[in-house]
Structure 1
């Protein structure tokens, strides 16, 4: 075989070329590291310790450089996700529909992992945050309390709530906040009736009615020196400190005046059904459940004229609004997109059906504000609705007394009532054996008036009378029976915890009897302290009776059928408008849980003779009702007068302006006795009605009577309070009241 000399040269050429390529690759690699720092070290040197150390240093330096570059990229990305620079076209942190699923997950993961580093700034320490709500009616007043609880739970700043209310909500919320006494919380009210002419000309199909348009008037309704405010719907729940939302005002550009979250439904896209024609909006439009309003700038822009002209122009073709103020806000923004600062959508996670709300969060920590913006409220369709519902229920049933906490480090803005209470507490002797009883007397309980819808129309003859009583959760079953026996107005005070109040609400809404009675006022007195403040609770029910006369009774008594009409006739007959009388309704009792209720006095007397009925407490506390003179009542046909005797505690009908119950008496003992004693001191005539009666239904002993029977300390303190009451009565009514002290000593 002949050897070809060219083949050797070819091998040499290939080897040389490979070596050159290798050297070039190593040179380029070295150029990328440390800006050209050479790694082309002799093979023999690579074996040395110095070479290995140098290599590690170079690689470590490069790793640190890459990590720093990545950190800067993540920081910039997170900042761009957490804010938008003004115009509608800017992207929120949520990826758009055409973004890959992997990118969305990576973005969410990076944001979650670095949330502490890029957290948005909050308000300055002790900076006052202003919050506005439009609230009208009984249901909205109940809803707004849950919103307020969620805000108070997270807050670290003083708050000023601005409520635009009707008469009903004003009475409910003003009483609630006065009795709640939360430190560093101010409340202002504005009359919605005065604002109605501003928006009543706008036809509106939304279920919120005219009140759904009133957010448009806030530049006029709120004080002229108020520059910024957060505006919220009543069906909002906060999952974070509201100061974070307030701080977003700092991100507004010079031209931005409104902060809003994009609408998460397809409403404004106009494709929900055939011929669906929404108001004009940019893209999906914006939801007005959460609004940052820069009032100062809006006023300078001539906001009132702006929204009026926009509404007038669009109504020419649209004829009415479908989503109330939201339609008008969106029409304005469509024409002036520079005005809006788009908020990240987690500031208004909208839970109405057919929304894109699930794209607003990937972790629980993402949630900021939950918005139940559906008429169905908690029954909306959302794969995480159970979680949202539980979060809402947490605040719904949360003990509001626990939110009375001070903001340490901020100047306290104590109200006159809280100052008075603090002074009264300081004057008490903590070593006094009856300290707890005395403290209960001055305690201020949180009160929610008219917890359910209430309607009352006064009668023309001024003889109307309200049944007044108090109860706790264990007497709830009496309500339906009382409503069947008494067709007139009722004022009930219910002593309950926040959670029990919600149980009562569900019970009442499920009862055909109760939900059809609109003339029953239910007033919640929230539990606090060791004792049942029975007279304080009675006074709440008494103060909120609307009629000229009141029938003061207990919840475990059923009035006879027709008693309401009979009392109204007796009021006229006995000229109660011009005389001081207390009409006594004789009390009886049964030991049977099932009773065929007597339909007349004759039938009652027959049952009395047969032993089916008894005069009330004849075998336990005879003196409580003995002065009624049941023997005379059996044959009486006209009202008769009886004299006061020690421990007399009848159930009476009096004018509404009668003295209130003495609140020093709590739990069991002397709570009604003291009241009748004061009526007698005021020279009320005690008149027994001959054709009236009421029957006490059996029930288990109350917790307080058990404490009275088992605790010597309880009985000692009750005796002490009696003596002090006698002394106070003598100072108040002079020598005429000495007979009460004498009667007590003769017992």
Structure 2
């Protein structure tokens, strides 16, 4: 009886060891798979690593993110760094880790350098309106698309993106697509910087995807020697006035939007069309809509204030949006404030306009994020005033027109006058 129990015990012991071994093997396999899918992004049926651009001579094709960006020194020595490492520094002020995949799709038509690229950003719920923008604009677009970093979200978005891109010939012809894969929602300024960084023209337009270009402002600008001369000078940003319908229901039907300034003014006179966010005048009031109604030529924005956030066309080689602004509130205003302080003047196009296409807002998120970003923006403006003032003084630009916007905007900041005296004295 004892012998039988001992043999039975051995059998049970062997069975337990066998089960333990199976468990260990399965655990290792699961861990490896988790690491592979969550951190290397290479297990998405080939979708996430899509790159349809021709291979560049300066790159050695490896797995995604490990492509080598190389350059040759005067002494003949080659140096290199990985693409992922390079981009981690380019967008280092954003929330990390964040993985940038440039040119997931590259437009088949290479744009002319003297053209205007719309730079924008979208999430999955804005694919349909972006489809309309590509069809309507028929020009270069550089778009950043955020991909939530989980398997289900990635697969859903990538599949929808392929359908979107393959079903619209204008998308294939004109649109460069860049992906950001991370867990951080609403890094708007980082997404804007990515779209601008990879734009392939000398001029860009920072546009929210929900706005419908009712007129061909691109041709207005490119066909005007006067306007192009201003853009080439590097100190001009062109404002395209933005409207919305008083009855937001009308804003759902983009096919009925006016296509000429005369038709738009008729709707304004009947109070059906109003300045975008008319209830919050600081946002667009500096464009001086009353003057716009009767204008026939470019006019300068003379009543700038720090909450102004128009939709503008400006040189690509200009300031970058500060990536510390995450979420709703002040992000675009901060970007345009720095552009203005850097010496860029705003000029309003007299005959072109945009209309907002109505959609729902995440009001709860907006309320909280605006509160946080307001505090950040208050400190940010002071920081910029002191930093740019010192920069202008050291570079000998303090007494030039380039410093005019800064002097006019920053003079009321406490301690600013004393700081200028110190910077000026220290520079001598």
Distance apart, 1:654 and its partner CA:
0.6
Distance apart, 1:484 and its partner CA:
2.1
Distance apart, 1:455 and its partner CA:
2.1
- Distance in 2, matches of 1:708 and 1:599, equals 32
Tell me, yes or no, if the aligned pair for 2:187 and 2:326 is still in contact at 8 Å. yes
Alignment partner, residue 505 of structure 1 = 158
Does residue 603 in structure 1 map to residue 257 in structure 2?
no
Q: Secondary structure at the match of 1:510?
A: helix
- Distance in 2, matches of 1:172 and 1:475, equals 32
Distance apart, 1:633 and its partner CA:
1.0
Alignment partner, residue 523 of structure 1 = 178
Q: How does 1:180-199 map to 2 (within 5 A)?
A: 187=66, 189=68
Alignment partner, residue 96 of structure 2 = 443
Q: Secondary structure at the match of 2:262?
A: helix
Tell me, yes or no, if the aligned pair for 1:509 and 1:515 is still in contact at 8 Å. no
Alignment partner, residue 584 of structure 1 = 239
Report Cα offsets for 1:272-316 as digits up to 9, x if no partner. xxxxxxxxxxxxxxxxxxxxxxxxxxxxxxxxxxxxxxxxxxxxx
- Distance in 1, matches of 2:175 and 2:343, equals 31
Match of 1:452 among 84, 89, 105: 105
Structure 1: gaps (5+ residues): 1-52, 62-66, 68-111, 123-143, 151-164, 178-186, 192-414, 425-439
Q: Secondary structure at the match of 1:719?
A: helix
Alignment partner, residue 467 of structure 1 = 118
Does residue 707 in structure 1 map to residue 362 in structure 2?
no
TM-score (norm 2): 0.69
Match of 1:496 among 139, 144, 147: 147
Distance apart, 1:615 and its partner CA:
1.0
- Distance in 2, matches of 1:633 and 1:681, equals 24
Distance apart, 1:631 and its partner CA:
1.2
Q: Secondary structure at the match of 1:547?
A: coil
Distance apart, 1:456 and its partner CA:
3.1
Tell me, yes or no, if the aligned pair for 2:215 and 2:352 is still in contact at 8 Å. no
Q: 1:173 to 1:449 in 2, by over 3 A?
A: farther
Alignment partner, residue 282 of structure 2 = 623
Alignment partner, residue 486 of structure 1 = 137
Alignment partner, residue 357 of structure 1 = none
Alignment partner, residue 306 of structure 1 = none
Distance apart, 1:570 and its partner CA:
4.0
Tell me, yes or no, if the aligned pair for 1:581 and 1:654 is still in contact at 8 Å. yes
Distance apart, 1:605 and its partner CA:
1.2
Alignment partner, residue 206 of structure 2 = 552
Q: How does 1:586-735 map to 2 (within 5 A)?
A: 586-590=241-245, 591=248, 592=250, 593-595=252-254, 596-619=256-279, 621-643=280-302, 644-702=304-362, 705-709=363-367, 711=368, 714=369, 716-734=371-389
Alignment partner, residue 404 of structure 1 = none
Distance apart, 1:707 and its partner CA:
2.7
- Distance in 1, matches of 2:206 and 2:374, equals 25
Q: Secondary structure at the match of 1:672?
A: helix
- Distance in 1, matches of 2:95 and 2:210, equals 27
Q: 1:657 to 1:566 in 2, by over 3 A?
A: same
- Distance in 2, matches of 1:542 and 1:480, equals 20
- Distance in 2, matches of 1:169 and 1:611, equals 57
Q: Secondary structure at the match of 2:232?
A: coil
Tell me, yes or no, if the aligned pair for 1:646 and 1:744 is still in contact at 8 Å. no
Report Cα offsets for 1:384-434 as digits up to 9, x if no partner. xxxxxxxxxxxxxxxxxxxxxxxxxxxxxxx7998999xx9xxxxxxxxxx
- Distance in 2, matches of 1:546 and 1:725, equals 30
Report Cα offsets for 1:690-725 as digits up to 9, x if no partner. 1111111111113xx52342x4xx555323312321
Report Cα offsets for 1:183-240 as digits up to 9, x if no partner. xxxx46499xxxxxxxxxxxxxxxxxxxxxxxxxxxxxxxxxxxxxxxxxxxxxxxxx
Distance apart, 1:583 and its partner CA:
0.6
Q: 1:513 to 1:663 in 2, by over 3 A?
A: same
Tell me, yes or no, if the aligned pair for 1:493 and 1:537 is still in contact at 8 Å. yes
Distance apart, 1:660 and its partner CA:
0.8
- Distance in 1, matches of 2:60 and 2:300, equals 40
Tell me, yes or no, if the aligned pair for 2:117 and 2:142 is still in contact at 8 Å. yes
Q: Secondary structure at the match of 1:477?
A: helix
Q: How does 1:164-313 map to 2 (within 5 A)?
A: 166-167=55-56, 170=59, 177=65, 187=66, 189=68
Alignment partner, residue 186 of structure 2 = 532
Tell me, yes or no, if the aligned pair for 1:637 and 1:691 is still in contact at 8 Å. yes
Report Cα offsets for 1:23-57 as digits up to 9, x if no partner. xxxxxxxxxxxxxxxxxxxxxxxxxxxxxx9xx99
Distance apart, 1:630 and its partner CA:
0.8
TM-score (norm 1): 0.41
Tell me, yes or no, if the aligned pair for 1:642 and 1:687 is still in contact at 8 Å. yes
- Distance in 2, matches of 1:600 and 1:524, equals 35
Match of 2:197 among 540, 543, 546: 543
Tell me, yes or no, if the aligned pair for 2:135 and 2:170 is still in contact at 8 Å. no
Q: 1:720 to 1:565 in 2, by over 3 A?
A: same
Distance apart, 1:532 and its partner CA:
1.6
Higher relative contact order (CA 8 A, sep 6+): 2
- Distance in 2, matches of 1:523 and 1:638, equals 36
Distance apart, 1:172 and its partner CA:
9.6
Q: 1:189 to 1:684 in 2, by over 3 A?
A: closer
Structure 2: gaps (5+ residues): 12-17, 29-39, 47-53, 71-84, 391-402, 415-428
Alignment partner, residue 379 of structure 1 = none
